Amino acid sequence: MNDKIKALLNEQINKELYSAYLYVDIANYYDELDLDGYANYYMVQAQEERDHALLFMKYMQNNGWKVTLEAIAKPDKTYGNILDPLEAAAEHERYVTSLINTIYHECYEARDYRTMKFLDWFVDEQMEEEDNADSMINRYKLFGSDPKGLYALDQEYAGRVYTAPSLVL
């Protein structure tokens, strides 16, 4: 197995854990504003990201590769309004997509078809994550400046529940 691919997969574990940490930070911001629905949405998102890290870790373990966990960086974003975290989340999802694409490219170059097949689920997942993040921004811009609209969005996001990833290893 290609050592560069192993290193990238191991790094992705830490990146996914950072994503979870970032979303907990965003949830905390919304909780401080008493936007419990938005806080719930991002706590669920944090659970998803943690599970993504565990999927990468399990894939490496199933292949007999050593997993090395690194320190998780503190989120460095500050938010001045309700829209800021939504935009930060969308930017972060685009970044994660670029990371997955880099790993996929390396797998393609190395003809590591097994890892490419594993990554296919994440490619699809990132398309969904980016779409959701963009939709939250667009919906906030359309309805969020109106208190009733913001309330309705917050109530909708309060109903989000965690569903474990469908990827089975």
Q: What share of the chain is helix, strand, coil (3-state, %, to 5)?
A: 75, 0, 25
The strand ranges marked E within the chain are: none
Q: Tens digits of per-residue pLDDT, 129-159?
A: 999 999 999 999 999 999 999 999 999 999 9
pLDDT at 165 over 90: no
- Average pLDDT rounded to a whole number, residues 33-49: 98
Residue pair 25/77 in contact by the 8 Å Cβ criterion: yes
Q: Tens digits of per-residue pLDDT, 88-109?
A: 999 999 999 999 999 999 999 9
Residue pair 165/55 in contact by the 8 Å Cβ criterion: yes
- The predicted structure's pLDDT at residue 168: 61
Q: Tens digits of per-residue pLDDT, 65-89?
A: 999 999 999 999 999 999 999 999 9
In whole angstroms, give the CA distance from residue 12 to residue 29. 25
- Average pLDDT rounded to a whole number, residues 3-22: 98
The domains of the chain, with CATH numbers, are: 3-65+76-158 (1.20.1260.10)
